[in-house]
Amino acid sequence: MSILEKIKSELKKAMKSKDKNSLLIYRGILAATHNKEIELKKERLTDDEVAAVLESQAKQRRDSIIEFQKGGRADLVKKEKDELEKISKYLPSKMPDNEVEKIVKEAISKTGAKKIQDRGKVMAEVMKNKGQIDGATASRIVSQKLNK
């Protein structure tokens, strides 16, 4: 069963149980994937493309949580966290930091990077594993390794 089929199934369950919050979340996800289909001029997205849309949605929620925490809006923080939790169920699991570190070391040696100015080349190499690696984690590790 594809990611989209799972989300549509959850949408149906939310409709039957009259769970308005879940309905909004799943409809938002489906709208975002539909917009991506239109943008890419595709009939149907692959699971990797759907995962990219979901990752984008999750990032928006994480950014919103930070901003709402700064503004002291605990009610909106809770709402965004609930949405993030539902979205995260459909994201592929991320690689642990120690695995990312190995990939970063390989990318540094492969690109011959020596200084922080070479960060872009290293990140391009590292992010070839995009679905499995968290970009923020990779960026932090690359910066640490190149600043030594």
Average pLDDT value over all residues in the chain: 88
What confidence category does residue 134 fall into, taking pLDDT thresholds of 50, 70 and 90?
A: confident
pTM of the full structure: 0.70
pLDDT at 130: 64
- For residue 132, what is the DSSP state? T
What value does the mean pLDDT take over residues 115-123? 85
Distances (CA, A) of 23 to 14, 73, 114: 6, 23, 50
Cβ-based neighbours of 92, under 8 Å, separated by 6 or more: 51, 131, 132
Q: Which domains does the chain have, with CATH numbers?
A: 3-88 (1.10.1510.10), 97-146 (1.10.10)
Is 43 exposed, middle or buried (CB count within 10 Å of its CB: 0-12, 13-18, 19+)? Answer: exposed
Specify the pLDDT at position 122.
86
Residues 62-80 pLDDT 10s: 999 999 999 999 999 999 9
Q: How does pLDDT run across 21-56, given as a tens digit for each residue?
A: 899 999 999 999 999 999 999 889 888 888 889 989
Q: 94-109: per-residue pLDDT in tens?
A: 778 888 888 888 888 8
